[in-house]
Amino acid sequence: MISRIFYPQEEKGIELMMDFELTEENRIFRDAIREFARKEIAPLVDQAEETGVFPRQLFRKMGEQGFLCPRYPLELGGGGGDKVTECILVEELNRINSGIGAALMAQAGLATQPLYRYGSDAQKEKFLVPAIKGEKIGSFALTEPNVGSDAASLQTRAVRDGDSYVINGTKMFITNGPICDYVIVAASTNPAKKAEGISLFIVEKGTPGFQVSKKLNKVGNRSAETAELVFEDCRIPAENMIGTSEGRGFNQIADTLLSGRITYGARCTGTAQAAYELTVQYAKERVQFGKPIIQFQNTRFKLAEMATYIDIMRSYTHRVARMYDHGINVRKEASMVKLFTAETLQTILSYSMQIHGGYGYMMEYPIQRHWRDGRLYTVTEGTSEIQRLVIGKELGL
Among all residues, which ones are annotated catalytic? 381
Which of 331, 329, 277 has the alpha carbon at shortest distance from 307? 277
What b/e readout covers 117-127, taking b as 16+ CB neighbours within 10 angstroms?
A: ebbeeebbebb
Q: How far apart are CA 351 and CA 357, in angstroms?
A: 10
Q: How far apart are CA 83 and CA 102, in angstroms?
A: 17
Residues written for the chain: 397
| 62, 33 Cβ separation under 8 angstroms | no
DSSP classification of residue 192: G
| 88, 266 Cβ separation under 8 angstroms | yes
Q: How far apart are CA 374 and CA 274, in angstroms?
A: 11
Spatial CB neighbours of 128, under 8 Å, sequence gap ≥ 6: 72, 76, 112, 115, 116, 119
For 79-163, strand residue ranges (E) read 138-141, 157-161
Q: How far is the CA of 384 from the CAs of 78, 100, 143, 313, 376, in angstroms?
A: 31, 23, 16, 16, 11
Q: How far apart are CA 382 and CA 224, in angstroms?
A: 19
Q: How far apart are CA 216 and CA 76, in angstroms?
A: 33
Residue 229: strand pairing partners: 171, 212
Which of 234, 231, 133, 135 has the alpha carbon at shortest distance from 180? 135
| 240, 203 Cβ separation under 8 angstroms | yes
Spatial CB neighbours of 211, under 8 Å, sequence gap ≥ 6: 229, 230, 232
